[in-house]
Structure 1
Amino acid sequence: MGRHKQPEIRDRILDACVDHALIHGLPDRLEPFVKASGSSTRMLIYHFGTRDALLYETLRRARQRQREFYGKLLSARRDEPYLVTLRHAWQAMTGPEGRPYLRMFGKLREDTEQQLWPTFRREATTDWLQPLEDGMRTAGRPELATLVLAVIRGLIMDIEATGDTPRADRAFDDFLAALALLPDTGEAGTRAVVKRRIAP
């Protein structure tokens, strides 16, 4: 009788592979994952079947982490105007903690690696729409969630292409200031907070 696979070992290996990939990107060979997980090629194949299956699972687990991280960042807070929450979220997304996800999934959008996850582009377009709708609802403008998402995605792509984060930061501040001018946002005092640009 064959050995039963142990889910906890598989999870430990997968988490180690995700940690490695977020820093170094997806490898061309299994050896970097072997070293990162303290395992062996045979064990990786045993638990995941093929190299491509492991790469796909690595992407899925990384995306799960990103959803949890960004989901918390974009969630409305009772003690904070939502436009201020968005400013904090932007800082975290484009800062040291969020940048590895931007590198990984920005590359996935433009790379042949997309064949590992053919539906990624469509899924990634609406991943953050619900928390943004919920947050903008607290500001009285849930219908603006798609616009906010489009601006965030566009500026992230700008950073990926140019590396000019300060310029993107200024543009996002200007966008939030413009949102604060709209009627019925229910965000008294937000305009002044956004205009003075919260320090990182």
Structure 2
Amino acid sequence: MGRRPQPEIKDRLLDACADHALAHGLPDRLEPLATATGTSARMLIYHFGTRDALLRAVLGRARQRQIDTFGELLRVRPDEPWTVTLDRAWTAITGADGLPYLRMFGRLRESADQRLWPDFRRAATTDWLGPLEEGLRSIGRPELATLVLAVIRGLLMDLDATADTARTDRAFRDFLAAVEHMADGFPAGTGATGTTEAPGGVTAD
């Protein structure tokens, strides 16, 4: 009788593989992951089926960690303006805890070979629009979510290319000041036209 799948072992291996990939990059071969998990390439194939299936699972686990971590950072807090929340999130995203995710998913987004995650470019955009819209809604400007995301992604690309933290931080805070200015005069729950948003994003007079 063959071995039965052991989900708890598979989950532990996946966490260890994700840890290694975030620290060192996603490898082309199984051997670095086998070494990092203290097992063999053969056992990784047993649990995940193929090399590509394992690599896809590693990307998925790392992505879920990123969404959970930064989704919490972007959460609206009743005791502070959301631009302050966003400023703190930016510091975390561009800091030591966030850089491994930026490296991993920046390379994936830029890769011409999208076989491991064919829809990643779209997911990398739509994953963040919801949390940004929710935060911006608290200052009356949910329609700015696409603009805010575009500025964040542009500055992250700048930071990756130049490593000029001081300049990109200053640019981001200048942008936050502009967002605060755009929000002035619009009470929470209203859009740029001053109409109140009904559930589902439909405006009501």
Q: TM-score, normalised by structure 1?
A: 0.90
Q: How many angstroms apart in 2 are the aligned matches of 1:153 and 1:186?
A: 28
Q: Greater helix percent: which structure?
A: 1
Residues 30 and 41 in structure 1, CA contact (< 8 A), matched pair in contact too: yes
Q: Which runs of 5+ in 2 are unaligned?
A: 189-205
Q: How many angstroms apart in 2 are the aligned matches of 1:166 and 1:41?
A: 43
Instruction: State the match for 2:88 in structure 1.
Output: 88
Residues 17 and 36 in structure 1, CA contact (< 8 A), matched pair in contact too: yes
Judge which range, 155-164 or 15-24, deviates more. 155-164
Which amino acid is 1:88 matched to? R
Q: How many angstroms apart in 2 are the aligned matches of 1:157 and 1:45?
A: 35
Instruction: State the match for 1:43 in structure 2.
Output: 43
Which amino acid is 1:102 matched to? L
Q: CA deviation at 1:61?
A: 0.5
The number of residues matched between the two structures is: 187
Residues 133 and 142 in structure 1, CA contact (< 8 A), matched pair in contact too: yes
Instruction: State the match for 1:97 in structure 2.
Output: 97
Q: Which runs of 5+ in 1 are unaligned?
A: 188-200
Q: How many angstroms apart in 2 are the aligned matches of 1:29 and 1:113?
A: 16
Instruction: State the match for 2:23 in structure 1.
Output: 23
Q: CA deviation at 1:50?
A: 1.1
Instruction: State the match for 1:145 in structure 2.
Output: 145
Output one character per residue of 1:149-168: Cα deviation in whole Å (capped at 9) or x when no partner: 11111111111222222211
Instruction: State the match for 2:163 in structure 1.
Output: 163
Q: How many angstroms apart in 2 are the aligned matches of 1:67 and 1:185?
A: 29
Percent identity of the aligned residues? 67
RMSD: 1.3
Instruction: State the match for 1:190 in structure 2.
Output: none
Q: How many angstroms apart in 2 are the aligned matches of 1:73 and 1:64?
A: 14
**Structure 1's 104 and 113: CA in aligned 2 closer, same or farther, altered over 3 A?**
farther
Instruction: State the match for 1:184 in structure 2.
Output: 185
Instruction: State the match for 1:8 in structure 2.
Output: 8
Q: How many angstroms apart in 2 are the aligned matches of 1:185 and 1:128?
A: 23
Instruction: State the match for 1:69 in structure 2.
Output: 69
Output one character per residue of 1:72-111: Cα deviation in whole Å (capped at 9) or x when no partner: 0111101010000000000000001111000000011122
Output one character per residue of 1:98-137: Cα deviation in whole Å (capped at 9) or x when no partner: 1100000001112255321110001101111111111111
Q: Secondary structure at the match of 2:34?
A: helix
